[in-house]
């Protein structure tokens, strides 16, 4: 599983875009910027060198200040929570929970933290343009390729409660597919230089559902071991 993280804000010059791309980006940002909370149904696919090795599904929730909750329902029940400071990945069947400071995570799923931040694409993408080699799921959709912006050593550091986020260190490019005209997010594809690809497909978006702050807090159950470090991505991809 790819852990959600807060992007470390890197305030650089804005990305220069063509009028067509700028319009699509504006629609995407406007679609989610006003939302305090979000809910969506997701399908997540892991691929290694183009081969699908795992498919998972569930419901994801987002809240401003970088808080997220992913309830995995298939093929097994798992829980992933980012409370704004710490990322928690709970595997009930293993009686373990993995925790890592959100700002230190290097997970591939990090571009999705955009939905729990201030929703400004230029904070995430150093370059962005139409992904003409990517086939959209529908002719009504537009596909954008984002080159991940890298944190500079002299960039100002922000706390985990800032309304911005830091990209995972391993991802180089991200593909966003959105509905033209509405900006609704349909798909995100994150590619790792090592040949790992993760696809997120989204449906049934709900804007501003009633989600209390406590919904994004994790309480460690009794007799559950706490492991410090990254989520066990490799182990989960190959499980039967």
CATH at residue 31: 2.50.20.10
* In-domain check, residue 12: no
Angle, CA 42 vertex, CA 98 and CA 63 arms, to 5°: 65
CB atoms within 10 A of CB 34: 9
Question: Which 8-state DSSP code applies to residue 9?
Answer: P
Coil/strand/helix, residue 151: coil
* In-domain check, residue 71: yes
Angle, CA 198 vertex, CA 196 and CA 204 arms, to 5°: 175
* In-domain check, residue 142: yes
Q: What is the per-residue pLDDT for 35?
A: 86
Q: Phi and psi for 224 in degrees, rounded to 5?
A: -110, 130
* In-domain check, residue 10: no
Below-50 pLDDT ranges, the chain: 1-15, 108-109, 151-170, 232-240
First vs last Cα of the chain: how many Å apart?
Answer: 15
* In-domain check, residue 104: yes
Q: Which residue has the tokens 């309480």?
A: 219
DSSP codes joined into one string, 145-179: EEEEPPPPTTSPP--TTSS-----TT--EEEEEEE
For residue range 133-173, what is the model confidence (pLDDT) as tens digits? 999 999 999 999 988 766 444 444 333 333 333 333 345 67
- For the chain, the domain total comes to 1
* In-domain check, residue 2: no
Q: What is the per-residue pLDDT for 105?
A: 62
> CA-to-CA distance for 167 and 33, rounded, in angstroms?
19
Q: What is the per-residue pLDDT for 185?
A: 93
Q: What is the per-residue pLDDT for 96?
A: 93
Domain containing 166 equals: 19-237
Q: What is the per-residue pLDDT for 117?
A: 60
* In-domain check, residue 11: no
Residues ≥6 apart with Cβ < 8 Å to 178: 24, 27, 28, 31, 141, 142, 144, 184, 185, 186
Burial 52-67 (b: 16+ CB within 10 A, else e): eebebebebbbbbbbb
């Amino acid at each position: 599983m790819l852990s959600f993280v807060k992007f470390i804000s890197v305030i650089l010059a804005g990305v220069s875009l063509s009028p067509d791309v700028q319009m699509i980006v504006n629609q995407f940002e406007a679609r989610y910027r006003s939302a305090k909370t979000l809910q969506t149904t997701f399908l997540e696919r892991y691929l290694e060198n183009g081969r699908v090795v795992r498919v998972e599904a569930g419901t994801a929730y987002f809240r401003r200040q970088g808080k997220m909750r992913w309830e995995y329902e298939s093929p097994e029940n798992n829980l992933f929570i980012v409370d704004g400071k710490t990322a928690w990945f709970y595997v009930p069947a293993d009686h373990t929970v993995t925790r890592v400071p959100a700002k230190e995570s290097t997970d591939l799923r990090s571009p999705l933290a955009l939905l729990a931040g201030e929703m400004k694409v230029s904070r995430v993408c150093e370059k962005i343009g139409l992904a003409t080699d990517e086939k959209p799921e529908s002719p009504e959709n537009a596909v954008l390729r984002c080159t991940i912006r890298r944190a500079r050593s002299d960039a100002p550091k922000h706390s985990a409660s800032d309304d911005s986020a830091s990209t995972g260190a391993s991802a180089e490019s991200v593909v966003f597919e959105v509905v033209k005209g509405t900006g609704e997010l349909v798909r995100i594809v994150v590619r790792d230089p090592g040949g790992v690809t993760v696809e997120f497909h989204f449906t049934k978006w709900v804007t501003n559902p009633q989600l209390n702050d406590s919904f994004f807090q994790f309480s460690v159950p009794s007799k559950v071991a706490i492991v410090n470090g990254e989520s066990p991505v490799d182990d989960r991809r190959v499980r039967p």
